[in-house]
Structure formats: C-alpha cells, structure tokens
C-alpha cells in the first residue's frame, strides 16, 4: 500500500506538469495525463471565468473516454491551480467549478486558507500547496494542505532562493506526506534525483513551454530551445516578487538584463519614458533547467523521453530495484 493518498499513490510516472500562467490549457493537460504525468493548469487561464466550466468539462470527458478505452493504462489524474490571494476575485466561482467536476488534485499558491482546503476535502480532492521555505511549509500543513510543493532555486516564474538539498532535507525532517520538488527539472535523471533527495514527485514547468500544445508564441518556445541557464535572469522588477525570466525577452523590451533596477513598488512606471513591460506576456518566465531542451516536441514525445531517461537512470543507479507501484 502506498503511503500517499489516492490518487497520488498510483501515478504512472512520479511527475507533475506544473501550472503555467497563460500557457497551460486543456490540450496540454489532456496530453500530459494521457502520457502518464499529472497535467495541470491555473483556473485563471480560463477567461472569462465562465470558460472554466467548458474547460473542466472537456478535460474530464476526454480523460474518462480515454480511460474507458484504455482500462489497463489509464491516464494520470489532473490538477487545477488556485491562486489563494485576496487579489483573486474569482476564487469563489472557481472553487464551485472544481467541486462541480470533483477535480482530483488542487494546487494552491500565494496563500494557505483553511476554508479552501476544507471545501476541497469535502468533495474528495487532494490539496498540494507550493512553498519556498520550511516556515511556509509548516503553515500550509497546519492550515490543512495534504502535501507540499517545494519550489527551490532555479524554478521558472516566481522562484525561491533555497537549494533543493536544503529545502527538501528541512521539510523531510518533520513531514512524511506527499512532497514534490520544483525547480530546473527537465530530464528523467533529474526526476530520479528529486526522489533520491526525498521528494515523491518532480514538478516540471518550463520544459513544457517548448511543447506543441503549450499556449506560447513560437519565439518563446524557440528561446527556450536556444537558451541555457546563462540566459536566465533572476529579478523582482517585473512583478515585485523575485522570479526567473528569459534574457532575450528582457532585451526585446529594451532593457539591459545585466543592469536591471530593483523593483520599487511605489513607482507606477518603469524607467523614464516607458511603462513597465508586461510580465508573462512580454517578459517570459523560465527556469534554469532548460539546457536539455533542444527542440519543440508534442508533449507526448517529451514525456516519453522523460520516461525513457528515468528508466535508464534507475537501471544505472539502482539495478534490480523495481519501481514502487
């Protein structure tokens, strides 16, 4: 018996495709799940809010059809990301929708709320909360989250600054529940490394931007193919929170990536004569792990590569040891 709650205890691969603002969409989520990875998207990607109903219908129906046709190899469950912050005025509506469709896994970010966790548990959902340090990890579990996502240094989008070694080790001293590691994971070998560190799952974001299904412009996908960790800039200028972004997008906005000012929340405008460029749309989020991404692939093919590399790494380091079911 797995020590992890259903449905996390029986994933085909120990991988969660992380939610990506603007970029994740039902097509990507469905392909991730069919290929054996937990697919996810932020509820806020459905706009207007009413579109969330249609998208959840599409995902649940397509995966149910797939599972009926493939009873021996069912799809992985999917997850929806809720931004639990007072600025999110859709939260109540989006919570009603996830309850209506009994979304199996909810990823909460930017705030841990007991009532939100209770509402998810009431319909049988599992809550994973993302954290950048041990203090927030304690808080999330106290408020009722079932599991944690440790967002370490080098993650795409808003990122922590802790080494994954430090973060996982501190959390694992007291927490035995579901734990995902996030930040710069983009190969099957790194997935195994996350498990060896003590995580149950690898949480992968940026690598999925360079897939055919991702809702990103071609130049963004190509920038990921071309980039290495040298091209990732850590700055709080664009949203007020520290995050990792692609150098070419900062240059294209007319800024010098090596001399970015520190964000000053009291200033409305950036620079002398132009407004601050739009984070996510103009300034492209990306983690440090994308050096292994050499081409834009269908998500299914990228996941097949991860699965192959993961199996090879297991064989190399743990020959004869069978994967936990």
Ligand X SMILES: Cc1cc2nc3c(=O)[nH]c(=O)nc-3n(C[C@H](O)[C@H](O)[C@H](O)COP(=O)(O)O)c2cc1C
Name the residues that contact ligand X, by CB under 6 A. 18-21, 23, 42, 81, 109, 130, 151, 155-157, 182-185, 203-206, 285-287, 289
Closest CA to 199 of 188, 191, 207, 211: 191
Q: Are 311 and 188 in contact (CB under 8 A)?
A: yes
- 148: which 2 tokens? 């944690």
Nearer Cβ to ligand X (141/159): 159
Minimum distance of ligand X from residue 7's CB (angstroms): 19
Nearer Cβ to ligand X (74/307): 307
Nearer Cβ to ligand X (21/136): 21
Nearer Cβ to ligand X (97/204): 204
Neighbouring-strand partners of residue 208: none
Nearer Cβ to ligand X (175/280): 280
Minimum distance of ligand X from residue 109's CB (angstroms): 4
Minimum distance of ligand X from residue 188's CB (angstroms): 14
Question: How many Cβ atoms from other residues are within 10 Å of residue 201's Cβ?
Answer: 26
Nearer Cβ to ligand X (74/195): 195
Minimum distance of ligand X from residue 163's CB (angstroms): 14
What's the DSSP call for residue 252? Answer: H
Minimum distance of ligand X from residue 243's CB (angstroms): 8
Minimum distance of ligand X from residue 117's CB (angstroms): 16
Query: What is the rounded distance in angstroms from the CA atom of residue 318 to the CA atom of residue 158?
Result: 34
CA angle 59, 60, 63 (to 5 degrees): 80
- 295: which 2 tokens? 């081409």
Q: Are 51 and 68 in contact (CB under 8 A)?
A: no
Query: What is the rounded distance in angstroms from the CA atom of residue 44 to the CA atom of residue 80?
Result: 10
Instruction: Give strand ranges (E) for the chain.
Output: 15-17, 39-42, 78-83, 105-109, 126-131, 147-151, 157-158, 179-182, 201-204, 232-235, 243-246
Q: Which residues contact 264 (CB under 8 A, 6 or more apart)?
A: none
Q: Are 45 and 24 in contact (CB under 8 A)?
A: yes
Minimum distance of ligand X from residue 290's CB (angstroms): 8
Nearer Cβ to ligand X (67/229): 229
């Amino acid at each position: 018996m797995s020590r992890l709650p259903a449905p996390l205890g029986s994933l085909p691969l120990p991988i969660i495709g992380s939610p990506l603002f603007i970029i994740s969409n039902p097509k990507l989520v469905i392909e991730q799940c069919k290929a054996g990875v937990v697919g996810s998207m932020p509820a806020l990607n459905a706009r207007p809010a009413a579109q969330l109903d249609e998208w959840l219908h599409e995902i649940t129906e397509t995966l149910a059809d797939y599972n009926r046709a493939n009873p021996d190899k069912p799809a992985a469950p999917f997850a929806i990301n809720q931004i639990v912050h007072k600025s999110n005025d859709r939260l109540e509506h989006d919570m009603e929708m996830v309850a209506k469709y009994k979304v199996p896994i909810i990823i909460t970010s930017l705030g841990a709320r007991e009532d939100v966790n209770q509402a998810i548990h009431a319909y049988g959902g599992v809550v994973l909360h993302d954290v950048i340090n041990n203090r927030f990890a304690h808080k999330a579990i106290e408020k009722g989250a079932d599991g944690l996502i440790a967002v370490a240094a080098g993650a795409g989008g808003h990122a922590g600054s802790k080494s994954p070694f430090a973060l996982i080790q501190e959390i694992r001293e007291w927490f035995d529940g579901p734990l995902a590691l996030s930040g710069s994971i983009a190969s099957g070998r790194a997935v195994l490394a996350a498990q060896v560190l003590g995580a149950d799952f690898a949480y992968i974001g940026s690598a999925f931007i360079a897939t055919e299904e991702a809702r990103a412009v071609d130049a963004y996908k190509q920038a990921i193919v071309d980039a290495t960790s040298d091209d990732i800039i850590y700055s709080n200028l664009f949203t007020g929170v520290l995050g990792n972004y692609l150098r070419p997008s900062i240059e294209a906005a007319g800024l010098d990536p090596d001399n970015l000012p520190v964000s000053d929340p009291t200033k409305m405008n950036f620079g002398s004569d132009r407004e601050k460029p739009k984070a996510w749309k103009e300034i492209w989020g990306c983690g440090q792990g994308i050096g292994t991404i050499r081409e834009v692939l269908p998500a299914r093919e990228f996941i097949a590569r991860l699965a192959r590399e993961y199996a090879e790494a297991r064989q190399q380091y743990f020959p004869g040891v069978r994967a936990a079911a």
